[in-house]
Every structure is written in structure tokens, then in C-alpha cells.
Amino acid sequence: MSEFLTEIDALLAASEAAFSAAEDAESLEAARIDFLGAKKGRLKSVQKLLGGVPKEDKPAAGKRLNEVKGLIQAAFEASQQRIAAPANDAAITEAFDPSLPGATTRIGKLHPITQTIEELTDIMGRLGFSVALGPEVEDERHNSEALNISLEHPARDPLDNFYLSTARKNTAKNNTAPNNKNTAASGGATLIRSQTSTVQIRVMENTPPPIRIISLGRVYRTDEADKTHYPMFHQMEGLWIDTDVTMADLKTVLRLFAVSYLGADVHVRFRPSFFPFTEPSVEADYLWNGAWVEFGGAGMVDPNVLKEVGYDPEEVIGFAFGLGVERLCMRRHNITDIREFYRNNVRFLHQF
């Protein structure tokens, strides 16, 4: 019996040594055949010795044989795994050269206009303005009628606006309710908005005064693209309604804003102008490389607009302004061509 046990222990030790010495699949397979081969394997021959073990010792000897069988099989599998996945720590350390420059990962960036919008929102937030949103597809009531823009006004010329022909039919059909203020007067014409002043109306329609909001978003005009024009651009609309807002407040807010965004040395000029929805109206110019450049319009909200949204012009008063976002960003970074923003040229966009 003890002879048998010595034999199988020796077999176990030999097989473990052989399997762990195997360096590749081939030598491991040779070792497997040597020890575990079904016909001439060394395990088989030791197994045969079991016949010579005295009867009373057989159960214990058989048990130990089975244990050893399992251990040999496990040693084989461990080596098999080691050979299949040779990238152990030692190999990695050898292959790693810390003196080589790392592989750079190109990280994306927010579009410069998105960054500008975030910064403008931040500046105006500090001046007490919260953000309001409005749809880009609008009806004529919000894009012009409620803004005191009469039917004859050139701003409503189909050649100057992107009217939506399909939406027009649908809206006309779907809005047959007699008291539907949004479309009743305009016959359901729908367009992509030409200005963010639409949001002034939407906010005042739904909120009682006081109001102090900005709205930033896309507007669309049938302009030919050149260095300073693009058929789609962004505006920042501002609206402040309360009982005692003055033109001086308007000028102060626009000046503070300009100083915050463009720097303390910015020069601001207000020129008398006309907008149907403000009275009096001004245009705001900023000095840029020695020339006055228009950044937007502003003025005291016209009493007709206040009446349109159900406010009493004897009770409340306010101002509104609309500034071009691209132009602000261009002035800040000295960008000379608005089209750069929309060329998807990563080398340009990555600079901001």
C-alpha cells in the first residue's frame, strides 16, 4: 500500500513540474500525453498498480488515486491558461517604455456659439435676468402681429421670411377654434422666426409682470451668406417690465453687459432708430477696430405691445433689446467671417 502511495505522489510531483515547465502549447500537449494519455499515460500505468494493493487498503488507495487525478488535471489546466494568456505583468513591464510620448486623445469642445450663449446667460443672470425659451417655428401673431408689425410692413414680406407652406395648410385646418388667438388673425401662416422678440410676447402672454428675462436662440432670415450675414444666426433677447423701468436702465444694462463680455475699454453708442414694437427705439453700436458696428436694437416696449398681451400700459412699462450673438463672439475673438462658425472646420472650432 505505502509503495502505491509513494508512486502516485511521485507521479503528481512529476506532472506538476512538467506542466509548469511547458512553455508553449506544443510542449504542454506532449506533457499531457505523457501523464494523462488514455492508453500509455503514466497515470494509467500507476492506476494499474491498484490491482496489487491488498484488499483492505483498496478503498483508501482508490480515494487517494482520485484526488491525485484531480490535482494533475488541475495542474494541466492552470498551465493551459497561462500559455493561452501570456501577457502577464512581467511581459507588460518589459514592453512599456515610459520615455515614449503618450497617445493623445482628442477631446471634443462646445461650439464657440454654445460657449458664448453660456457666458451671456451667466452675465445676464448676475444682472437678475432669468432664461426663457420659445419655439423656432412660429405663427405670425408672435413673429409680427402682437409686436405691432402691421400687415404692410416690409418685415412681413414673404421674400424676407421663411414661411412654411405645409405647416401653413395644417395649422389653418387644425386651428378652427374661433377664439384661437394664435392663428385666427393671421390665417394660420407659419414661419421659422426671424427674431427672438417672439419670446417677449410668449412670456408676457403667460406671466403677469414684473418680468426680467433673456431668451437666446436661432433666428432665420433670407440673407445671402457673406462675411457678416448668414441665413441662420442667434440673438439674445432681453425684456424687463415693471412699474418704473426707464431708458436709463436700458442703457445701463446694455453698457454693463458690454463691459462684462467685451471688457472695460468697450465703447458703446446708442443711435435713435425705429422698431414697431419699441418707442422710443435705439440701435446699440460697439466700437470695433476703429469702426462703429451695430450689435442690435432696443427700446421702450411700445404701449400697443403691452395692450396686446393684456397688460395695462398705464400701470407697467419696460424695455426690450435684441443683440446678435455671433457678432458678440466675433468681436470678442476678432473673428472676421461669420461663415466660419458653420463650416464645421474642426481646426477653426478647436481654438475656442
Q: Where do contacts with ligand PHE occur on this chain (CB under 6 A)?
A: 195, 197, 275, 278, 296-299, 320-322
When the beta carbons of 79 and 197 are compared against ligand PHE, the nearer one is 197
Shortest Cβ distance from residue 202 to ligand PHE (Å)?
14
Nearest to 318 by CA among 258, 218, 237: 237
When the beta carbons of 188 and 318 are compared against ligand PHE, the nearer one is 318
Q: How many CB atoms lie within 10 A of CB 187?
A: 12
What residues pair up with 137 in beta bridges, in sequence order? 192
| Helices and strands (H and E) in the chain: how many | 13, 10
Shortest Cβ distance from residue 284 to ligand PHE (Å)?
9
When the beta carbons of 67 and 157 are compared against ligand PHE, the nearer one is 157
Shortest Cβ distance from residue 145 to ligand PHE (Å)?
14
Which grid coordinates belong to 127?
A: 444682472
Which residues, 6+ apart, have CB-to-CB distance to 321 below 8 Å?
237, 238, 250, 253, 254, 284, 296, 297, 298, 299
When the beta carbons of 209 and 322 are compared against ligand PHE, the nearer one is 322
When the beta carbons of 143 and 183 are compared against ligand PHE, the nearer one is 143
From the number of C-beta atoms within 10 Å of its C-beta (0-12, 13-18, 19+), residue 276 rates as middle
Shortest Cβ distance from residue 260 to ligand PHE (Å)?
20
Please report which residue ranges of the chain form alpha helices under DSSP H.
2-21, 25-36, 42-48, 58-84, 89-95, 112-126, 140-143, 165-174, 197-206, 247-262, 303-308, 325-333, 346-349
Nearest to 136 by CA among 195, 84, 78: 195
Shortest Cβ distance from residue 225 to ligand PHE (Å)?
18
When the beta carbons of 16 and 217 are compared against ligand PHE, the nearer one is 217
Shortest Cβ distance from residue 218 to ligand PHE (Å)?
12
